[in-house]
Chains A and B, each alone.
Chain A
Amino acid sequence: MSVLVLAEHDLGALSAATARIVAAAETLGPVDLLVAGQDVSAVAAEAAKLAGVEKVLVADSAALASLSPEAVAALLARLAEPYSHIVAAAAATGRDAIPRLAAKLDLMPVTDVVAIHGPTRFDRPIYAGNAIETVSSGQSKHLLTIRASAFRPAASGNDAPIHPVDADVTSVARFLAAHRTESDLPELSTAQVVVAGGVSFGSAEKFALVAELAKVLGAAVGATRAAVDAGYAPNDWQVGQTGKIIAPDLYIAIGISGALQHLAGIQGAKKIVAINKDPEAPLMKIADIALVGDLFEVVPQLIAGLGRE
Chain B
Amino acid sequence: MKILVAVKRVVDHAVRVRVRPDGSGVETENVRMSMNPFDKHAVEAAVQLGEAGHASEIVVVSIGPKQSNDVILTALAMGAHRGILIEADGRIETLAVAKLLNAVVAEEQPDLVLLGKQAVDDDSNQVGQMLAGLLDWPQATFASEIKVAGDSLEVTREVDYGRATVGVSLPAIVTADLRLNTPRNAALPMVMKARSKPLAVRPAAEFGVDLTPRLKLEKVSPPAERVAGRKVADAAELVAAISSELTELEAL
Contacts and interface: CB of A to CB of B under 8 A. Distances in A.
Contacts of B123: 112, 125-128, 241
A173 B161 contact: no
B167 A73 contact: no
Nearest to A244: B160
Given A108-B95, A132-B223, A242 B246 contact: no
Nearest to A122: B215
Given A99-B129, A306-B243, A131 B166 contact: no
Nearest to B230: A289
A25 B13 CA distance: 33
B222 interface: yes
SS class, residues of chain B in contact with chain A:
mixed
A27 interface: no
Contact of A134 (B213, B218, B233): B218
Interface string A99-134: 111111011111110000000010001111111111
Interface stretch (B54-62, B138-146, B194-202): B138-146
A123 to B, nearest CB: 8
B231 A291 contact: yes
A96 B245 contact: no
A249 B249 contact: yes
A208 to B, nearest CB: 18
Contacts of A102: 95, 126, 130, 133
Interface string B142-182: 00100000000010101111111111110000000111000
Given A133-B220, A301-B239, 5 more contacts: A106-B95, A112-B123, A132-B220, A137-B214, A236-B161
Interface of B: 11, 13, 16-17, 19, 26, 93-95, 98, 117-118, 120-134, 138-141, 144, 154, 156, 158-169, 177-179, 213-224, 226-239, 241-243, 245-246, 249
Interface of A: 10, 66, 68-70, 73, 91-92, 95-104, 106-112, 121, 125-139, 172-181, 189, 192-193, 217, 225, 228-229, 234-236, 241-242, 244, 249-250, 252, 260-261, 267, 271-273, 275, 279, 284-293, 297-298, 301-302, 305-306, 309
Q: Which 5 A-B pairs have the closest CB atoms?
A: A103-B133, A305-B239, A288-B229, A301-B235, A108-B214
6 contacts: A91-B160, A109-B126, A126-B26, A181-B162, A293-B235, A306-B242
